[in-house]
Amino acid sequence: MRSYHGVVAVTIWGVLDSLASSGLKRSPVAGSGVPKGSSIMDPSLINEWVAPATGNVHKGETLVSFGVGIDLTRDLSFFPEEIL
């Protein structure tokens, strides 16, 4: 198997059996009260910030997702700085 270094894009398409989700109770913007160096996902803070869903929804719905991964340890000078 050959190693890959650089930029990779991933696309996922599928039909959901169900999806559990959550929502934010408030927006985690500057000055919103998140202690410096903390995350809203910290176990001691999560109940203040995140409202979990009460069940699975979206049965039979189409899911389309995509992402980009960049190996920042490699020479990326080929790519314009504004797209990285």
Query: What is the SS3 assignment for 8-52?
Result: EEEEEEEECCCECCEEECCCCCCCCCCCCCCCCCCCCCHHHHEEE
Q: What is the pLDDT of residue 67?
A: 92
Q: What is the pLDDT of residue 2?
A: 62
Q: What is the pLDDT of residue 58?
A: 83
pLDDT in tens, the chain (84 residues): 566 667 788 999 999 998 888 888 887 776 777 777 788 888 988 888 888 877 777 888 999 999 988 888 878 787 777 876
CA atoms within 13 A on the CB side of 73: 2
Are the C-beta atoms of 65 and 15 separated by less than 8 Å? no
CA atoms within 13 A on the CB side of 83: 9
Record the pTM.
0.44
* Domain limits, the chain: 7-27+34-72
